[in-house]
Amino acid sequence: PIVRLADYRPSDYLIDRVDLDVRLHPTETRITATLALRPNPLGEAGAPLVLDGDDLTLLAVALDGQPTAPGALEATPRGLTLHQPPQRPFVLSLETQVNPSANTKLMGLYRSNGVYCTQCEADGFRRITYFLDRPDVLAVYTTRIEADREEAPVLLGNGNPVEAGEAGPGRHYAVWHDPYPKPAYLFALVGGRLGRISSRFTTMEGREVEIAVHVEPGKEHRAPYALDAVARAMAWDERVFGRPYDLDVFNVVAVSDFNMGAMENKGLNIFNDKYVLASPDTATDTDYANIEAIIAHEYFHNWSGNRVTCRDWFQLCLKEGLTVFRDQEFSSDERSRPVHRIAEVRTLRARQFPEDAGPLAHPVRPQAYREINNFYTATVYEKGAEIVRMLRTLLGPERFRAGMDLYFSRCDGTAATVEDFLAAFAEASGRDLAAFARWYAQAGTPTVSVAGRYDPHQCTYTLDFHQSLPAIATEASGGGAPQPLVIPISLGLVAREGGALAARSERVRDGVFVLQEESDRLVFTEVASEPVPSLFRGFSAPVKVAHSLDTAQCLTLLAHDSDPFNRWQAAQNLALDILTTRARGGAPLAAEAGPGGAALAQALGGFLDAEALKDPAFAALVLAIAGDQEVAQEIGANVDPDAIHRARWTLRAHLGRALQPRLLALREALAAPAGQPFSPDAASAGQRALRNAALDLIAAADPELGTRLAEAQFEEADNMTDRLAALAVLTLLPGEGRERALAAFDETYRGEPLVLDKWFALQAMIPEPGTVARVRALMRHEGYSAANPNRVRALIGSFSLNNPTQFHREDGAGYELLAETVLDLDSRNPQVAARLLTAFNTWRMMEPGRRARAEARLRMIAASPGLSPDVSDIANRSLASA
């Protein structure tokens, strides 16, 4: 059934207190829920009480301690209706039974590696007990958990621990109380045999907090980085947002079967272990950075999500976009701001732009959904974060902070909306944000075109801006003609020979021009010489820029712009121009990269000489030219992934040849001194990143030399970053070296599932026709399991998202592999199956042959009997005509 934002109404009943008694058992867990209910003054008087359920068995029920009259109540696995509830406060007691071992959907209460855990967002609590499972019903929870002491010595709940003890022969219990009213999606419990490390933190209010990270016993040595990240996140949120932690304990638990990254349950964050466990020999620098970011993200939800929650699921971006913005700011402060900004934009362009350009496009706040779990998207998260960032750019840091403070204080303890959020900023700043709010309602990536003109007689420089907005009519977007957006454009003028150009314009404040009409003109006066405009500095708005900069102007920006983001962007633009021309068939195959390639190589050489050793992480990003998917997006229609791939390989080979002496010298200069212990800090990671980016280009140009260097690095590496980077280079070069290295890696890490995932992923990304067969063979590898979401994402997800030439194979074999996997997985875990299926979201921009095969495959999936609502929703929206 479809749910619409326009149909929101408050619940007819409220639940003030929830007392849970959970007796854990592998197959017959019993839950007694005692709910203190009352009619909602804002609801309909006398309405029946309709509680949500999913796959529940009801064992007993009582109303105010008495059995209910026959016919007073109706219960099915999917819901419970009390026809005439008392029109005063009353207590409903329910006993349900569930089977955690059979719960393969990983929603509700399930067992992962023998550990009992829960996942309730978005609608998993109804798989534990009947409930008003909606985020605007806030209750205070007390949870008693009972289990076999042998099986589950550790028992964790939300809030603070209040009591623990014996519960009969071999059994024990613990009681947890969470004083903060919360919606059911933030409920959690954990029971199991877990190792633990802990530390203490004193908040700005003087509260002593015990922080603990719980992992599989024996893996405690891989938990300290996550533990430290929690403490750094706590300190940062106090310093930057004035937000202290509010309970006496903060628990993080790592589990190995998890549908998403992690979950912000109050006081008890549950994580995919991929985002907790790290040691130098098992985790890459990227893993460390992700752990830090996701630990922070879930912690920051304590204010943006938990203390202030969402009124309904249409407001998901209210907590997710804001919290992504907060974790991005945290990582920028802890690491390098420009480097992190570039990484954020690369993610946005690789994941969100395609989503916004395809059949699954939806506004950051959708108008309608059929399956909410399909809306935990790059648009809600990443574009949602960009909107908050634009708000800060528009208001300035002080007014932004004042708005945040007002939002937190005014909405604390409530379930809020995007309107509440914007109202706080409007009030704190005195600005009218009505037009800005369109960012939440309109799907699609805007394009801003810019033309610049210099008048040497008047000494003026004129910029003409025009915004064009795609008209998107999907169920979730609601259609309607798009209205102009409020687009903050951070900009500056750069002199041809370098240095900022003095120039005046009344309409630029603090380096920002605000485009809010469809077209507008900006005139700078007192411009002494023809400048190069540096626009959208720091990527100040989530738009595509149709620039008219020529090669010379891009070279000026790459060499001289004071904004590091735009220096990087200039190199990207130079590469993208070459790649799109070639991939569209504009240059003969055998040719070298052409004059553009030579200019780019020369510019990158100059850049490396000047900057590489100053900021290796930044240099590594400049060397990493735009990926296949980004080129495909740029081309936009009739895409031939093979042509893109050839164009990229040719350009990389050209750059590798032209820069070879420099790249070899950099590898020498940046090699870690012998005996220096590994450190995951950003500076060391940056050095490794540049050495490995150099290796990648060297190998593209000279496979023989590349193989030699990579084999040596693979052997000698004392950390997973370098070992895996070497293996990645080897897997891209056909030959014996590849198979040897892959076999050695398999042998070494067979007992380490998270490491083996990297091995699955690399093989799934080999851009050769043998890969489909290889992936099928790997699905039978003893380390693979279709029941574990991380394994599935590593192998099948990498194949379909990060191997464009083989997923989009001309003969359709890639589509067939994905379809088979999705259908097979659907009966077990619909959420993960649906997520995998979104890889089809670029099908409409492929060339006609591939497009036809993809469409046929999607139709076959959509017509399959017994589809879950999750997969059916993605399949049908993917096919809906635009």
Q: Name the residues that contact Zn ion, by CB under 5 A.
A: 320, 323
Stretch (H or E) spanning 614: none
From 309, 298, 268, 269, select the one nearest 176 (Cα to Cα).
268
Report yes or no: 350 and 382 within 8 Å, Cβ to Cβ.
no
298 belongs to the catalytic site: yes
The CA dihedral of 398, 404, 406, 410, to the nearest 10 degrees, is 180
Backbone conformation region of residue 48, classed left if phi is above 0, alpha if psi is from -120 to 50, else beta: beta
- 320 versus 561: smaller Cβ distance to Zn ion: 320
φ and ψ of 180, to 5 deg: -90, 125
From 92, 100, 82, select the one nearest 26 (Cα to Cα).
100
Report yes or no: 145 and 151 within 8 Å, Cβ to Cβ.
no
- 302 versus 323: smaller Cβ distance to Zn ion: 323
Q: Is 303 exposed, middle or buried (0-12, 13-18, 19+ CB in 10 A)?
A: buried
- 323 versus 377: smaller Cβ distance to Zn ion: 323
Largest CA distance in the chain: 95
- Residue 47: DSSP 8-state: P
From 529, 583, 533, 591, select the one nearest 560 (Cα to Cα).
533
Catalytic residue selected from 121, 264, 292, 298 = 298
State the distance between the two ends of the chain, measured CA to CA, in whole angstroms. Answer: 21
Instruction: Provide CB contacts within 8 A for 244, sequence distance 6+.
Output: 203, 204, 205, 207, 234, 237, 238
- 262 versus 437: smaller Cβ distance to Zn ion: 262
- 320 versus 615: smaller Cβ distance to Zn ion: 320
Quickly tell me which residue has 């150099």 as its tokens.
694
Distance CA 348, CA 357 (A): 12
- 320 versus 757: smaller Cβ distance to Zn ion: 320
Distance CA 202, CA 209 (A): 6
Pairing of strands 544-546, 447-455: parallel
Q: Is 86 exposed, middle or buried (0-12, 13-18, 19+ CB in 10 A)?
A: middle
- 256 versus 323: smaller Cβ distance to Zn ion: 323
From 38, 21, 42, select the one nearest 30 (Cα to Cα).
21
Sign of CA dihedral 89, 95, 101, 105: negative
- 86 versus 261: smaller Cβ distance to Zn ion: 261
Report yes or no: 38 and 90 within 8 Å, Cβ to Cβ.
yes
- 621 versus 832: smaller Cβ distance to Zn ion: 832
Catalytic residues: 298
